[in-house]
Amino acid sequence: MTRYPRDFRGHGATPPYAAWPNDARIAVQFVLNYEEGGENCLLHGDAASEAFLSEIVGAAPWPGQRHWNMESIYDYGARAGFWRLHRLFTGADIPVTVYGVASALARAPEQVEAMKDAGWEIASHGLKWIDYKDHNAADERADIAEAIRLHTEVVGEAPQGWYCGRTSVNTVSLAAQTGRFDYISDTYDDDLPYWMEIDGREQLIIPYTLDCNDMRFATPQGFNSGDQFYTYLRDTFDALYAEGTQGQAKMMSIGLHCRLIGRPGRVQALKRFVEYIKGFEGVWTPRRIDIADHWRAVHPPALRGLRPSQLSRSDFVAAFGGIFEHSAWIAERAFELELGPAHDCAAGLHNALTRMFRSATYNERLGVLTAHPDLAGKLAAAKRLTAESTAEQASAGLDALTDAERSRFEELNTAYVAKHGFPFIIAVKDHDKDGILRAFETRISNDTDTEFTTACKQVERIARLRLEDMF
Protein backbone atom coordinates (compact mmCIF):
# COMPACT_ATOMS: atom_id res chain seq x y z
CA MET A 1 0.00 0.00 0.00
CA THR A 2 1.02 3.63 -0.48
CA ARG A 3 0.20 6.35 1.99
CA TYR A 4 0.62 10.00 1.00
CA PRO A 5 1.53 12.31 3.89
CA ARG A 6 0.74 15.73 2.42
CA ASP A 7 -2.63 17.15 3.50
CA PHE A 8 -4.55 18.84 0.68
CA ARG A 9 -7.76 18.93 2.67
CA GLY A 10 -6.97 21.14 5.66
CA HIS A 11 -9.98 22.92 7.12
CA GLY A 12 -11.97 22.13 3.97
CA ALA A 13 -14.72 24.18 2.36
CA THR A 14 -16.01 25.54 5.66
CA PRO A 15 -13.12 26.68 7.89
CA PRO A 16 -13.82 27.05 11.61
CA TYR A 17 -15.08 30.37 12.92
CA ALA A 18 -11.92 31.95 14.32
CA ALA A 19 -13.73 33.93 17.04
CA TRP A 20 -10.84 36.35 17.40
CA PRO A 21 -10.96 38.54 20.55
CA ASN A 22 -13.65 41.22 20.41
CA ASP A 23 -14.98 39.43 17.33
CA ALA A 24 -12.22 40.94 15.20
CA ARG A 25 -12.60 40.49 11.46
CA ILE A 26 -8.93 39.82 10.87
CA ALA A 27 -5.76 39.08 12.83
CA VAL A 28 -2.78 40.94 11.33
CA GLN A 29 0.44 39.54 12.72
CA PHE A 30 3.85 41.16 12.12
CA VAL A 31 7.00 39.05 12.30
CA LEU A 32 10.47 40.57 12.51
CA ASN A 33 13.17 38.09 11.54
CA TYR A 34 16.34 38.83 13.50
CA GLU A 35 19.15 36.99 11.66
CA GLU A 36 22.02 39.45 11.65
CA GLY A 37 25.03 37.74 13.21
CA GLY A 38 23.58 34.29 12.71
CA GLU A 39 24.15 34.00 8.95
CA ASN A 40 26.82 31.93 7.21
CA CYS A 41 30.21 33.50 7.88
CA LEU A 42 33.73 32.22 8.42
CA LEU A 43 33.71 34.08 11.74
CA HIS A 44 30.85 31.80 12.81
CA GLY A 45 32.67 28.62 11.94
CA ASP A 46 30.99 28.18 8.56
CA ALA A 47 32.75 27.01 5.41
CA ALA A 48 31.59 29.87 3.21
CA SER A 49 29.98 33.30 3.21
CA GLU A 50 26.24 34.00 3.17
CA ALA A 51 24.41 34.27 -0.17
CA PHE A 52 20.75 34.60 0.84
CA LEU A 53 18.40 37.57 1.23
CA SER A 54 20.54 40.63 0.73
CA GLU A 55 20.87 43.54 -1.68
CA ILE A 56 23.29 41.40 -3.70
CA VAL A 57 20.67 39.52 -5.73
CA GLY A 58 22.10 36.31 -7.14
CA ALA A 59 25.03 36.25 -4.74
CA ALA A 60 26.94 32.97 -4.42
CA PRO A 61 28.74 31.60 -1.35
CA TRP A 62 32.49 32.28 -1.21
CA PRO A 63 34.08 29.07 0.11
CA GLY A 64 36.85 29.76 2.59
CA GLN A 65 36.48 33.55 2.31
CA ARG A 66 34.74 36.31 4.19
CA HIS A 67 32.40 38.42 2.02
CA TRP A 68 32.88 41.91 3.36
CA ASN A 69 30.01 43.45 1.42
CA MET A 70 27.60 40.72 2.51
CA GLU A 71 28.62 41.06 6.14
CA SER A 72 28.19 44.83 5.94
CA ILE A 73 24.68 44.51 4.53
CA TYR A 74 23.68 42.19 7.37
CA ASP A 75 25.33 44.58 9.84
CA TYR A 76 23.06 47.36 8.59
CA GLY A 77 20.05 45.39 9.76
CA ALA A 78 21.37 45.24 13.31
CA ARG A 79 22.84 48.75 13.46
CA ALA A 80 20.13 50.80 11.75
CA GLY A 81 17.24 48.74 10.36
CA PHE A 82 16.25 47.17 13.66
CA TRP A 83 16.00 50.49 15.47
CA ARG A 84 13.97 52.09 12.67
CA LEU A 85 11.46 49.24 12.90
CA HIS A 86 11.51 49.33 16.68
CA ARG A 87 10.50 53.00 16.59
CA LEU A 88 7.76 52.32 14.04
CA PHE A 89 6.07 49.49 15.92
CA THR A 90 6.42 50.89 19.43
CA GLY A 91 5.13 54.21 18.15
CA ALA A 92 2.13 52.47 16.60
CA ASP A 93 1.58 50.42 19.79
CA ILE A 94 1.71 47.17 17.81
CA PRO A 95 3.54 44.26 19.44
CA VAL A 96 5.43 41.96 17.10
CA THR A 97 6.86 38.48 17.17
CA VAL A 98 10.58 38.25 16.63
CA TYR A 99 11.94 35.17 14.93
CA GLY A 100 15.30 35.30 16.65
CA VAL A 101 18.25 33.21 15.50
CA ALA A 102 19.82 32.19 18.81
CA SER A 103 23.42 32.93 17.78
CA ALA A 104 22.32 36.30 16.37
CA LEU A 105 20.50 37.20 19.59
CA ALA A 106 23.64 36.33 21.55
CA ARG A 107 25.49 39.01 19.54
CA ALA A 108 22.78 41.65 20.06
CA PRO A 109 22.30 42.38 23.78
CA GLU A 110 20.90 45.89 23.29
CA GLN A 111 18.43 44.78 20.65
CA VAL A 112 17.25 41.88 22.83
CA GLU A 113 16.75 44.24 25.75
CA ALA A 114 14.70 46.56 23.51
CA MET A 115 12.56 43.65 22.30
CA LYS A 116 11.80 42.60 25.84
CA ASP A 117 11.11 46.15 27.06
CA ALA A 118 8.60 46.55 24.21
CA GLY A 119 6.76 43.37 25.23
CA TRP A 120 7.59 41.64 21.97
CA GLU A 121 7.56 37.87 21.74
CA ILE A 122 10.94 36.36 20.91
CA ALA A 123 10.38 33.02 19.19
CA SER A 124 13.17 30.71 18.07
CA HIS A 125 14.50 31.01 14.54
CA GLY A 126 16.96 28.18 15.06
CA LEU A 127 20.55 28.11 16.19
CA LYS A 128 22.08 29.60 13.04
CA TRP A 129 20.64 31.13 9.87
CA ILE A 130 21.78 28.27 7.68
CA ASP A 131 20.12 25.76 5.36
CA TYR A 132 19.20 22.41 6.93
CA LYS A 133 18.10 20.59 3.77
CA ASP A 134 21.23 18.39 3.77
CA HIS A 135 21.52 17.84 7.53
CA ASN A 136 20.82 14.43 8.97
CA ALA A 137 18.14 14.20 11.64
CA ALA A 138 20.58 13.66 14.50
CA ASP A 139 22.61 16.79 13.72
CA GLU A 140 19.50 18.90 13.23
CA ARG A 141 18.01 17.62 16.49
CA ALA A 142 21.20 18.63 18.28
CA ASP A 143 21.04 22.13 16.78
CA ILE A 144 17.41 22.53 17.86
CA ALA A 145 18.34 21.55 21.41
CA GLU A 146 21.25 24.01 21.41
CA ALA A 147 19.03 26.73 19.95
CA ILE A 148 16.61 26.33 22.86
CA ARG A 149 19.45 26.29 25.39
CA LEU A 150 21.21 29.35 24.01
CA HIS A 151 17.97 31.27 23.48
CA THR A 152 16.98 30.64 27.10
CA GLU A 153 20.39 31.76 28.30
CA VAL A 154 20.38 34.97 26.23
CA VAL A 155 16.75 36.01 26.51
CA GLY A 156 16.07 34.77 30.02
CA GLU A 157 13.22 32.47 29.08
CA ALA A 158 12.70 29.60 26.68
CA PRO A 159 11.09 30.25 23.29
CA GLN A 160 7.45 29.30 23.01
CA GLY A 161 7.34 29.38 19.22
CA TRP A 162 9.53 27.91 16.51
CA TYR A 163 10.31 28.85 12.91
CA CYS A 164 13.44 27.57 11.20
CA GLY A 165 12.71 28.78 7.67
CA ARG A 166 15.53 27.01 5.85
CA THR A 167 14.22 23.57 6.71
CA SER A 168 14.73 19.91 6.03
CA VAL A 169 11.86 17.48 5.64
CA ASN A 170 12.46 16.54 9.31
CA THR A 171 12.35 20.03 10.85
CA VAL A 172 8.70 20.23 11.90
CA SER A 173 8.62 16.76 13.41
CA LEU A 174 11.94 17.29 15.22
CA ALA A 175 10.75 20.57 16.69
CA ALA A 176 7.45 18.99 17.75
CA GLN A 177 9.23 16.05 19.34
CA THR A 178 10.91 18.38 21.82
CA GLY A 179 7.51 19.05 23.37
CA ARG A 180 8.75 22.57 24.07
CA PHE A 181 6.85 24.71 21.58
CA ASP A 182 3.34 26.10 21.91
CA TYR A 183 3.33 26.51 18.14
CA ILE A 184 5.44 25.80 15.07
CA SER A 185 5.33 28.03 11.98
CA ASP A 186 7.37 26.12 9.39
CA THR A 187 4.42 25.80 7.00
CA TYR A 188 2.77 28.13 4.50
CA ASP A 189 -0.36 26.10 3.84
CA ASP A 190 -3.30 27.95 5.39
CA ASP A 191 -4.82 31.24 6.54
CA LEU A 192 -5.71 29.80 9.94
CA PRO A 193 -3.90 27.78 12.60
CA TYR A 194 -4.50 24.05 12.77
CA TRP A 195 -3.51 20.97 14.75
CA MET A 196 -1.12 18.37 13.38
CA GLU A 197 -0.67 14.95 14.93
CA ILE A 198 3.04 14.16 15.30
CA ASP A 199 4.15 11.00 17.08
CA GLY A 200 0.78 10.69 18.79
CA ARG A 201 0.82 14.27 20.09
CA GLU A 202 -1.23 17.21 18.80
CA GLN A 203 1.03 20.09 17.76
CA LEU A 204 -0.38 23.54 17.00
CA ILE A 205 0.73 24.90 13.64
CA ILE A 206 0.48 28.62 12.86
CA PRO A 207 1.32 28.96 9.16
CA TYR A 208 3.71 31.68 8.05
CA THR A 209 4.05 33.56 4.77
CA LEU A 210 6.48 33.98 1.90
CA ASP A 211 4.26 36.27 -0.18
CA CYS A 212 3.49 39.06 2.30
CA ASN A 213 7.19 39.10 3.01
CA ASP A 214 9.85 41.72 2.37
CA MET A 215 12.21 38.94 1.27
CA ARG A 216 10.76 39.54 -2.19
CA PHE A 217 12.79 42.75 -2.33
CA ALA A 218 15.81 40.43 -2.60
CA THR A 219 14.51 37.89 -5.10
CA PRO A 220 14.03 37.96 -8.87
CA GLN A 221 10.53 39.10 -9.91
CA GLY A 222 9.98 40.37 -6.40
CA PHE A 223 9.10 43.84 -5.17
CA ASN A 224 11.04 46.60 -6.93
CA SER A 225 9.69 49.44 -4.85
CA GLY A 226 7.96 50.18 -1.61
CA ASP A 227 4.76 50.97 -3.51
CA GLN A 228 4.58 47.39 -4.79
CA PHE A 229 5.03 46.01 -1.28
CA TYR A 230 2.38 48.35 0.14
CA THR A 231 -0.09 47.53 -2.63
CA TYR A 232 0.35 43.81 -2.13
CA LEU A 233 -0.13 44.07 1.64
CA ARG A 234 -3.16 46.32 1.22
CA ASP A 235 -4.81 44.03 -1.32
CA THR A 236 -4.20 40.99 0.89
CA PHE A 237 -5.66 42.82 3.88
CA ASP A 238 -8.70 43.96 1.90
CA ALA A 239 -9.45 40.44 0.66
CA LEU A 240 -9.14 38.88 4.10
CA TYR A 241 -11.00 41.72 5.82
CA ALA A 242 -13.90 41.23 3.40
CA GLU A 243 -13.97 37.52 4.24
CA GLY A 244 -14.00 38.44 7.90
CA THR A 245 -17.03 40.68 7.48
CA GLN A 246 -18.80 37.66 5.98
CA GLY A 247 -18.06 35.49 9.02
CA GLN A 248 -14.85 33.86 7.73
CA ALA A 249 -12.20 35.70 9.76
CA LYS A 250 -8.62 34.75 8.90
CA MET A 251 -5.03 35.52 9.86
CA MET A 252 -2.62 37.67 7.86
CA SER A 253 1.07 37.12 8.55
CA ILE A 254 3.63 39.70 7.42
CA GLY A 255 7.31 38.75 7.32
CA LEU A 256 9.96 41.44 7.80
CA HIS A 257 13.76 41.60 7.94
CA CYS A 258 15.79 44.35 9.57
CA ARG A 259 18.24 44.65 6.66
CA LEU A 260 15.49 44.73 4.00
CA ILE A 261 12.38 46.65 5.10
CA GLY A 262 14.58 48.57 7.55
CA ARG A 263 16.01 50.60 4.66
CA PRO A 264 14.57 54.14 4.51
CA GLY A 265 13.41 53.69 0.93
CA ARG A 266 11.20 50.78 1.95
CA VAL A 267 10.10 51.43 5.50
CA GLN A 268 7.68 54.12 4.38
CA ALA A 269 5.61 51.44 2.64
CA LEU A 270 5.32 49.53 5.90
CA LYS A 271 4.44 52.72 7.74
CA ARG A 272 1.66 53.48 5.24
CA PHE A 273 0.27 49.98 5.66
CA VAL A 274 0.23 50.27 9.46
CA GLU A 275 -1.61 53.58 9.15
CA TYR A 276 -4.01 52.04 6.62
CA ILE A 277 -5.16 49.15 8.83
CA LYS A 278 -5.63 51.49 11.78
CA GLY A 279 -8.49 53.04 9.81
CA PHE A 280 -10.59 49.87 10.07
CA GLU A 281 -12.70 48.49 12.89
CA GLY A 282 -12.19 44.95 14.12
CA VAL A 283 -8.48 44.57 13.39
CA TRP A 284 -6.50 42.54 15.92
CA THR A 285 -2.69 42.90 15.82
CA PRO A 286 -1.43 40.17 18.16
CA ARG A 287 1.87 38.45 18.68
CA ARG A 288 2.04 34.90 17.43
CA ILE A 289 1.95 33.52 20.96
CA ASP A 290 -1.33 35.42 21.47
CA ILE A 291 -2.80 33.63 18.45
CA ALA A 292 -1.55 30.32 19.85
CA ASP A 293 -3.12 30.97 23.26
CA HIS A 294 -6.41 31.98 21.65
CA TRP A 295 -6.56 29.01 19.33
CA ARG A 296 -5.75 26.56 22.10
CA ALA A 297 -8.52 28.03 24.28
CA VAL A 298 -11.20 28.39 21.58
CA HIS A 299 -10.24 25.59 19.17
CA PRO A 300 -8.53 22.88 21.22
CA PRO A 301 -7.56 19.69 19.41
CA ALA A 302 -10.66 17.60 18.83
CA LEU A 303 -10.86 13.84 18.90
CA ARG A 304 -9.92 12.72 15.42
CA GLY A 305 -12.68 10.87 13.65
CA LEU A 306 -12.56 8.00 11.22
CA ARG A 307 -9.28 8.01 9.25
CA PRO A 308 -9.43 5.38 6.51
CA SER A 309 -5.88 6.07 5.33
CA GLN A 310 -4.53 4.87 8.67
CA LEU A 311 -6.52 1.65 8.98
CA SER A 312 -5.07 -1.81 8.51
CA ARG A 313 -6.23 -3.80 5.50
CA SER A 314 -8.59 -5.97 7.54
CA ASP A 315 -10.13 -3.00 9.35
CA PHE A 316 -10.42 -1.01 6.11
CA VAL A 317 -12.25 -3.83 4.32
CA ALA A 318 -14.43 -4.54 7.35
CA ALA A 319 -15.47 -0.88 7.52
CA PHE A 320 -15.99 -0.20 3.81
CA GLY A 321 -16.45 -3.58 2.14
CA GLY A 322 -20.21 -3.12 2.13
CA ILE A 323 -20.29 0.39 0.70
CA PHE A 324 -20.76 -1.20 -2.71
CA GLU A 325 -23.37 -3.90 -2.16
CA HIS A 326 -21.77 -7.30 -1.45
CA SER A 327 -18.61 -6.19 -3.30
CA ALA A 328 -15.75 -6.15 -0.80
CA TRP A 329 -13.26 -6.45 -3.66
CA ILE A 330 -13.73 -2.73 -4.36
CA ALA A 331 -12.53 -1.82 -0.86
CA GLU A 332 -9.67 -4.32 -1.16
CA ARG A 333 -8.43 -2.63 -4.32
CA ALA A 334 -8.96 0.88 -2.95
CA PHE A 335 -6.79 0.02 0.03
CA GLU A 336 -3.84 -0.36 -2.35
CA LEU A 337 -4.22 3.17 -3.74
CA GLU A 338 -2.17 6.19 -2.69
CA LEU A 339 -4.41 7.16 0.21
CA GLY A 340 -3.74 10.09 2.50
CA PRO A 341 -5.44 12.80 4.58
CA ALA A 342 -7.49 13.89 1.57
CA HIS A 343 -9.25 10.52 1.68
CA ASP A 344 -10.18 10.70 5.36
CA CYS A 345 -13.61 12.11 4.59
CA ALA A 346 -16.71 11.01 2.71
CA ALA A 347 -15.77 12.78 -0.53
CA GLY A 348 -12.19 11.52 -0.49
CA LEU A 349 -12.94 7.89 0.27
CA HIS A 350 -15.82 7.89 -2.19
CA ASN A 351 -13.40 9.00 -4.88
CA ALA A 352 -11.01 6.16 -4.08
CA LEU A 353 -13.75 3.50 -4.04
CA THR A 354 -15.46 4.71 -7.20
CA ARG A 355 -12.15 4.78 -9.04
CA MET A 356 -11.90 1.04 -8.45
CA PHE A 357 -15.50 0.51 -9.51
CA ARG A 358 -15.05 2.55 -12.70
CA SER A 359 -11.80 0.83 -13.66
CA ALA A 360 -13.27 -2.66 -13.15
CA THR A 361 -14.27 -4.88 -16.04
CA TYR A 362 -17.78 -4.84 -17.44
CA ASN A 363 -18.56 -8.19 -15.83
CA GLU A 364 -17.23 -7.03 -12.46
CA ARG A 365 -19.45 -3.95 -12.55
CA LEU A 366 -22.36 -6.08 -13.70
CA GLY A 367 -21.72 -8.24 -10.66
CA VAL A 368 -22.09 -5.19 -8.43
CA LEU A 369 -25.41 -4.34 -10.08
CA THR A 370 -26.77 -7.86 -9.73
CA ALA A 371 -25.71 -7.92 -6.07
CA HIS A 372 -28.30 -5.21 -5.37
CA PRO A 373 -31.70 -6.43 -4.18
CA ASP A 374 -34.99 -5.71 -5.89
CA LEU A 375 -36.79 -2.70 -4.49
CA ALA A 376 -39.55 -3.84 -2.15
CA GLY A 377 -38.90 -7.39 -3.36
CA LYS A 378 -38.97 -10.81 -1.79
CA LEU A 379 -35.71 -10.33 0.13
CA ALA A 380 -37.10 -7.22 1.77
CA ALA A 381 -40.27 -9.07 2.72
CA ALA A 382 -38.18 -11.87 4.19
CA LYS A 383 -36.01 -9.31 6.02
CA ARG A 384 -32.86 -10.60 4.35
CA LEU A 385 -31.46 -7.29 3.10
CA THR A 386 -28.19 -5.85 4.35
CA ALA A 387 -28.54 -3.34 7.16
CA GLU A 388 -27.71 -0.53 4.72
CA SER A 389 -30.33 -1.59 2.17
CA THR A 390 -32.93 -2.12 4.87
CA ALA A 391 -32.46 1.40 6.22
CA GLU A 392 -32.40 2.93 2.74
CA GLN A 393 -35.61 1.28 1.58
CA ALA A 394 -37.29 2.17 4.85
CA SER A 395 -36.29 5.83 4.43
CA ALA A 396 -38.44 6.03 1.29
CA GLY A 397 -41.36 4.13 2.83
CA LEU A 398 -40.74 0.98 0.83
CA ASP A 399 -41.13 -1.12 3.96
CA ALA A 400 -44.77 -0.03 4.34
CA LEU A 401 -46.44 -0.53 0.97
CA THR A 402 -50.06 -1.22 0.24
CA ASP A 403 -50.85 -4.51 -1.47
CA ALA A 404 -51.39 -2.64 -4.72
CA GLU A 405 -48.06 -0.82 -4.44
CA ARG A 406 -46.20 -4.00 -3.65
CA SER A 407 -47.80 -5.73 -6.60
CA ARG A 408 -46.76 -2.88 -8.90
CA PHE A 409 -43.15 -3.01 -7.67
CA GLU A 410 -43.02 -6.77 -8.19
CA GLU A 411 -44.41 -6.38 -11.71
CA LEU A 412 -41.84 -3.69 -12.58
CA ASN A 413 -38.97 -5.64 -11.00
CA THR A 414 -39.76 -8.72 -13.07
CA ALA A 415 -40.06 -6.77 -16.33
CA TYR A 416 -36.92 -4.71 -15.69
CA VAL A 417 -34.70 -7.70 -14.90
CA ALA A 418 -36.06 -9.63 -17.87
CA LYS A 419 -35.15 -6.75 -20.19
CA HIS A 420 -31.83 -5.57 -18.76
CA GLY A 421 -30.40 -8.51 -16.83
CA PHE A 422 -29.88 -6.66 -13.53
CA PRO A 423 -32.14 -5.10 -10.87
CA PHE A 424 -33.47 -1.56 -11.00
CA ILE A 425 -31.15 0.57 -8.88
CA ILE A 426 -31.82 4.06 -7.56
CA ALA A 427 -30.53 6.04 -4.59
CA VAL A 428 -33.79 5.86 -2.67
CA LYS A 429 -32.67 8.48 -0.12
CA ASP A 430 -32.87 11.07 -2.90
CA HIS A 431 -36.56 10.28 -3.59
CA ASP A 432 -39.88 9.53 -2.05
CA LYS A 433 -41.98 6.47 -2.90
CA ASP A 434 -43.91 8.16 -5.70
CA GLY A 435 -40.74 9.56 -7.25
CA ILE A 436 -39.13 6.13 -7.23
CA LEU A 437 -42.11 4.62 -9.02
CA ARG A 438 -42.07 7.37 -11.65
CA ALA A 439 -38.33 6.84 -12.27
CA PHE A 440 -38.89 3.06 -12.44
CA GLU A 441 -41.63 3.44 -15.05
CA THR A 442 -39.53 5.87 -17.12
CA ARG A 443 -36.22 4.05 -17.03
CA ILE A 444 -37.57 0.61 -17.86
CA SER A 445 -37.97 1.77 -21.45
CA ASN A 446 -34.26 2.72 -21.82
CA ASP A 447 -31.97 0.57 -23.92
CA THR A 448 -29.73 -1.67 -21.81
CA ASP A 449 -26.48 0.23 -22.49
CA THR A 450 -28.06 3.48 -21.32
CA GLU A 451 -29.59 1.81 -18.32
CA PHE A 452 -26.30 0.10 -17.40
CA THR A 453 -24.62 3.51 -17.31
CA THR A 454 -27.48 5.00 -15.32
CA ALA A 455 -27.47 2.13 -12.83
CA CYS A 456 -23.70 2.46 -12.30
CA LYS A 457 -24.11 6.15 -11.51
CA GLN A 458 -26.83 5.31 -9.04
CA VAL A 459 -24.57 2.72 -7.39
CA GLU A 460 -21.93 5.43 -6.96
CA ARG A 461 -24.55 7.78 -5.50
CA ILE A 462 -25.69 5.12 -3.02
CA ALA A 463 -22.07 4.61 -1.98
CA ARG A 464 -21.67 8.34 -1.35
CA LEU A 465 -24.77 8.49 0.82
CA ARG A 466 -23.60 5.48 2.82
CA LEU A 467 -20.22 7.09 3.42
CA GLU A 468 -21.81 10.36 4.51
CA ASP A 469 -23.69 8.41 7.16
CA MET A 470 -20.37 7.08 8.45
CA PHE A 471 -18.39 10.35 8.66
Q: Which H, E and C letters describe the chain, residue by residue?
A: CEECCCCCCCCCCCCCCCCCHHHCCEEEEEEEEECCCCECCHHHCCCECCCCCCCCCCCCCCECCCCHHHHHHHHHHHHHHHHHHHHHHHHCCCCCEEEECHHHHCCCHHHHHHHHHCCCEEEECCCCECCCCCCCHHHHHHHHHHHHHHHHHHHCCCCCEECCCCCCCCHHHHHHHCCCCCEECCCCCCCCCEEEEECCEEEEECCCCCCCEHHHHHCCCCCCCHHHHHHHHHHHHHHHHHHHHCCCCEEEEEEEECCCCCCHHHHHHHHHHHHHHCCCCCEECCCHHHHHHHHHHHCCCCCCCCCHHHCCHHHHHHHHCCCCCCCHHHHHHHHCCEECHHHCCHHHHHHHHHHHHHCCCHHHHHHHHHHCCCCCCHHHHCCCCCHHHHHHHHHCCCCCCCHHHHHHHHHHHHHHHHHHCCCCCCCHHHCCHHHHHHHHHHHCCCCHHHHHHHHHHHHHHHHHHHHHHHC
Query: In the annotation, is 135 catalytic?
Result: no
Residues 6+ positions from 220 with CB-CB distance below 8 Å: 57, 58
Q: How far apart are CA 317 and CA 335, in angstroms?
A: 8
> b/e for 147-179, b at 16 or more Cβ within 10 A?
bbebbeebbeeebbbbbbbebbebbbbbbbbee
Out of 151, 257, 372, 420, the active site residue is 372
State the CB neighbour count (10 A cutoff) for residue 77.
Answer: 28
Q: Are 198 and 176 in contact (CB under 8 A)?
A: yes
Q: Which residues are marked as active site? A: 372
